[in-house]
């Protein structure tokens, strides 16, 4: 009996050992570990570019066929080292990305920061290979239709049978994978096999869309600039190539018309791997930017450093400068300026006539001693008086931090109404255009269209990417109309507000030590929220004038006392009031802005 029990025990031990060896061999062959990690995994597709699950604006349908899809994966079990930024999607836990047209295996996502347990990867859809989406006048636009992972490989033939392979590693936060899509519509799927035969996946649906064309107004004066826009996200190709697309505009008097260029509005940010460990974001602009308005509020400037953190001695920095429109916060291209660098009151260097065609100035700076630094940016866009200055301390030792992108061109709550819902990670589906009218012959070079009083003017946009039930061979002419009148005055708002155009005025800035009472700021806040009417807001402006905080040039014109209050306030002035009440504008900047509007005749007192 004893021998029998012993043999049974030995047999059982051998079975366990064999099973263990077999299982280990199986896991070794598959690449999976035999220790399963806990689940609790969450995957989300985000329309916005964010590192936080709670900030994700989930979207799974209506995606453009060349859009960017920002994928977040919450997987705390794969956060193994609290001091490192880790990856998922290796051979031991593969991520597969596929569409109706292509598939990429072993895609890697990168942790959003040390010890977050949240991993991010951007899936860039690229359309069909060399598919024409726009072919008018001077421009033909074709989608690339490329498929590749985050490692861009390029082979160079060196001669004598030698080939050199160069790899350009991109951050998964900028692009984990590029993948082709099918025409008209299809499905994108991200599938992560986090344990053997255990998957988490999500799918989203992309589709072509019917374009849109609209004038900003129903009626234009013959002497007025005409503005319009089109929308068609199918035209989007690539962030490095902001193509000028063309639409035809014509009138009853000139059916041949002219072609007018339109471009997408930018809404973009970027990231690249630096030293294969840390991430350096080139963005529009950085979340940590210092911001300043020019004295009249026309321009809003952003300044940030790469690397970020505490500025210290003996460290190389790139100071990034961008300038946005002060009212719309839209990034301006073709940036020019002069720059003076001071340390402890001493001028270190002057850099004049700086010009950056893409609108992002990058100025290398290194400080060799601690102290108080100041950077003065002047002659912005070659405009005298358009100047800002930034002051900061240079510490004995630098503390380097990752530069986090602002993720979008507009501050929270400050997105123009006609952009809301049309924002994409790289662009806004809004392509504005403009042209002028003349009673003489049309001119393509002068961007002028011949019209007569009472004419109808037209935008004609040909959409060649139509959704089902249309076929890929179908096209659609999308036409918008507006009326032309010869009134001798300019109609400048949707509320039929009239004024005769005058040259742009110059103003003398208000004193730097002005003191505006809190009740005026509260009035501005209530007015921007619609809680008080224009006359009540006017009382605050009248107070600033009466107390000589804002000086108004005297004129010989006689004004009826009943019309002495503000008679017309453009709706976008509310933005300035809101920014000031929220602390985004200083008292000086707000007062200068109001003074400029008064001098322009846009506000009358």
Condensed to tens digits (0 to 9), the pLDDT of residues 403-443 reads: 655 545 555 556 677 777 777 767 788 899 999 999 999 99
Instruction: Please say whether the beta carbons of 246 and 444 come within 8 A.
Output: no
Burial of 59 by CB count in 10 Å (0-12 exposed, 13-18 middle, 19+ buried)? middle
The pTM of the full predicted model, rounded to 2 decimals, is: 0.57
Q: What pLDDT digit, counting tens, does each position of 141-176 carry?
A: 899 898 987 554 433 333 444 434 444 445 677 778
Residue predicted with more confidence, 465 or 277:
465
Using pLDDT thresholds of 50, 70 and 90, give the confidence band for residue 375: very high
CA 128 to chain centre: 25
CATH number for the domain running over 212-266+423-499: 2.60.40
Residue predicted with more confidence, 583 or 135:
135
Burial of 602 by CB count in 10 Å (0-12 exposed, 13-18 middle, 19+ buried)? middle
Residue predicted with more confidence, 14 or 538:
538
Q: How far apart are CA 417 and CA 399, in angstroms?
A: 40
Q: Please, where are the H alpha helices in 186-310?
A: none
SS3 3: helix
Q: What pLDDT digit, counting tens, does each position of 331-354 carry?
A: 787 899 999 999 999 999 999 999
pLDDT-wise least confident of 220-224, 227-231, 386-390, 395-399: 395-399
For residue 156, how many C-alpha atoms fall within 13 Å in the half-sphere facing its CB?
5
pLDDT (average), residues 255-278: 66
CATH of 271-401, one of 2.40.50.140, 2.60.40.1930, 3.40.50.300, 3.40.50.720: 2.60.40.1930
**Per-residue pLDDT at 529 exceeds 60:** yes
Q: Cis omega (within 30 of 0) on the bond before 331?
A: no
* DSSP secondary structure code for residue 511 in this structure: P
Comparing C-alpha atoms, which of 247, 243, 235 is closest to residue 434? 247
Residue predicted with more confidence, 50 or 24:
50
Comparing C-alpha atoms, which of 470, 462, 474, 480 is closest to residue 211? 462
Residue 168's pLDDT is 45
Comparing C-alpha atoms, which of 566, 567, 586 is closest to residue 576? 586
Q: Which residues pair with 228 in a beta bridge?
A: 215, 433
SS3 91: coil
CA dihedral 149, 151, 152, 157 (to 10 degrees): -120
């Amino acid at each position: 009996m004893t021998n029998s029990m012993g043999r049974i025990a030995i047999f059982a031990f051998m079975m366990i050992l064999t099973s263990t060896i077999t299982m280990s061999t199986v896991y070794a062959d598959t690449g999976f570990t035999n220790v399963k990690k806990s689940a609790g995994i969450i995957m989300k597709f985000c329309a916005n570019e964010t590192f936080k699950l709670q900030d994700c604006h989930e979207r799974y349908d209506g995606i453009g066929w060349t859009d960017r899809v920002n994928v977040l994966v919450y997987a705390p079990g794969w956060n193994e080292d609290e001091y490192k930024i880790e990856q998922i999607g290796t051979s031991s836990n593969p991520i597969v990305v596929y569409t109706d047209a292509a598939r990429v295996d072993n895609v890697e996502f990168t942790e959003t920061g040390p010890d977050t347990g949240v991993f991010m990867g951007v899936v860039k859809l690229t359309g069909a290979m060399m598919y024409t989406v726009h072919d008018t006048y001077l421009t033909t636009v074709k989608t690339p239709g490329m498929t590749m992972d985050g490692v861009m490989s390029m082979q160079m033939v060196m001669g004598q049978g030698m080939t050199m392979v160069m790899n350009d590693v991109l951050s998964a936060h900028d692009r984990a994978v590029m993948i082709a899509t099918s025409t008209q519509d299809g499905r994108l799927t991200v599938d992560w096999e986090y344990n053997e035969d255990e998957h988490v996946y999500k799918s989203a649906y992309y589709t072509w869309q019917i374009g849109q064309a609209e004038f900003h107004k129903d009626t234009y004066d013959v002497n007025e600039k005409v503005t319009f826009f089109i929308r068609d996200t199918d035209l989007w190709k690539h962030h490095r190539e902001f193509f000028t697309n063309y639409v035809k505009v014509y009138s009853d008097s000139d059916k041949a018309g002219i072609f007018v260029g339109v471009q997408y509005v930018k809404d973009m940010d970027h990231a690249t791997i630096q030293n294969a460990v840390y991430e350096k974001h080139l963005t529009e602009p950085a979340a940590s930017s210092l911001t300043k308005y020019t004295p009249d509020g026309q321009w809003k400037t952003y300044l940030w450093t790469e690397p970020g953190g505490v500025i210290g001695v003996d460290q190389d920095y790139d100071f990034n400068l961008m300038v946005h429109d002060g009212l719309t916060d839209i990034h301006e291209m073709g940036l020019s300026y002069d720059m003076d660098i001071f340390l402890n009151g001493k001028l270190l260097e002057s850099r004049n006539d700086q010009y950056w065609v893409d609108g992002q100035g990058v100025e290398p700076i290194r400080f060799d001693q601690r102290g108080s630094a100041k950077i003065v940016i002047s002659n912005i866009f070659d405009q005298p008086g358009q100047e800002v200055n930034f002051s900061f301390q240079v510490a004995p030792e630098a503390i380097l931090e990752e530069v986090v992108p602002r993720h979008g061109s507009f501050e929270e709550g400050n997105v123009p109404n006609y952009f809301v819902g049309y924002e994409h990670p790289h662009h806004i589906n809004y392509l504005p255009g403009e042209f002028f009218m003349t009673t003489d012959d049309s001119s393509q070079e002068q961007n002028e269209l011949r019209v007569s009083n009472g004419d109808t003017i037209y935008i004609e946009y040909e959409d060649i990417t139509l959704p089902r039930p249309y076929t890929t061979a179908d096209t659609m002419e999308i036409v918008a109309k507006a009326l032309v009148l010869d009134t001798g005055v300019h109609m400048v708002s949707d509320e039929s507000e009239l004024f005769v155009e005058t040259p742009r005025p110059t103003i003398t800035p208000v004193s730097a030590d002005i003191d505006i009472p809190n009740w005026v700021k509260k009035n501005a806040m209530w007015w921007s929220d619609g809680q008080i009417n224009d006359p009540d807001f006017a009382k605050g402006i009248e107070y600033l004038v009466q107390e000589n905080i804002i000086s108004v040039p005297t004129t010989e014109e006689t004004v009826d006392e009943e019309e002495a209050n503000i008679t017309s306030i453009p709706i976008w002035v509310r933005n300035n009031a809101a920014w000031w009440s929220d602390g985004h504008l200083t008292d000086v900047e707000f007062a200068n802005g109001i003074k400029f509007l008064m001098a322009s005749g846009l506000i009358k007192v």
